[in-house]
Amino acid sequence: MESRVQTLSAPDSSTIAYWTAGDAGPWVVVVPSLGRGGRDFDRLLSDLTAAGFRALAFDPRGIDESRCSPSHDTLHDPAADLALFIEQLGDAPVHVVGHAYGQRVARCLAADRPELVRTVTLLAAGGLVAPAPEALDALRRCFQLNLPQEERLESVQRGFFAPGNDPAVWIDGWWPAAAAAQSDANRATPLDDWWAAGRAPVLVVQGLDDVIAVPANGHALRDRLGDRVRVVDLQNAGHALLPEQPEAIAEAVVAFLSEES
């Protein structure tokens, strides 16, 4: 299913690692969560290719195999990296799926370069309604790699997983320097620059137990943008979503993309 890891050269001479899956069908480009890499999407990529799509995943700057500097000024910069991938595919517009921080980048791309984006799928669609301070504290502690593993597991559980779901599957894969740079870029970008996701049709898939991108965010987006937005609320899912409810996510995403392709 998966091709070998390849690299894309950015205009600043940085190289960004990516890989593709699938032999034919519409393209889907996926964008990972804060300080995490594209391997979080492995299961979804498998489901997408089984459904007749091609997919591209990548490690953002400073993460895993993309060892270049993670520094960005605003969300418009990682959105420009995303545009480079889509332009390289040569088959725009494409479907874009972003998780957590990645959905902010996806929405920024859809606003900046609407001609490149067919649809936007938001997994954990935060941005408008703020989380509680204790949820943000748990998020920060996930990136403190010097903490005892038991403490980090407890933070991953509180910040990312619904009660009863196993956080051990996400104990690894955290890149603190990249997360700090991404957070700086997010804070430097006005909400109005990206929140409405341009003019693309939008699917929101959100966990009802998400304490970071609280479900009110997806509902507010639907209320403001109307029929452009569809919302799927998932029981027994928190901010992690992808390892918690892979079948339900694949079902919702494949149905939406198939209708919009």
Q: What is the pTM assigned to this prediction? A: 0.97
1 in any annotated domain: no
Per-residue burial over 118-142, b = 16 or more CB atoms within 10 Å of its CB, e = otherwise: bbbbbbbbbbeeebeeebeebbebb
Structure-token pair, residue 243:
């390892």
167 in any annotated domain: yes
HSE value, Cβ hemisphere, 13 Å, CA-based, for 135: 17
211 in any annotated domain: yes
Ordered strands of the 54-58 beta sheet: 6-9, 15-21, 54-58, 27-31, 94-99, 117-123, 202-207, 229-234
140 in any annotated domain: yes
Report the number of distinct structural domains present in the chain: 1
The H or E element spanning position 219 is helix 216-225
Q: Digits of tens for pLDDT over the chain (261 positions)? A: 456 899 999 999 899 999 999 999 999 999 999 999 999 999 999 999 999 999 999 999 999 999 899 988 999 999 999 999 999 999 999 999 999 999 999 999 999 999 999 999 999 999 999 999 999 999 999 999 999 999 999 999 999 999 999 999 999 999 999 999 999 999 999 999 999 999 999 999 999 999 999 999 999 999 999 999 999 999 999 999 999 999 999 999 999 999 999
Domain CATH for 159: 3.40.50.1820
Give the pLDDT confidence score for residue 1 in this predicted structure.
46
| Structural domain boundaries enclosing 203 | 6-260
139 in any annotated domain: yes
CA 102 to centroid of chain Cα atoms = 3
Give the pLDDT confidence score for residue 107 in this predicted structure.
98
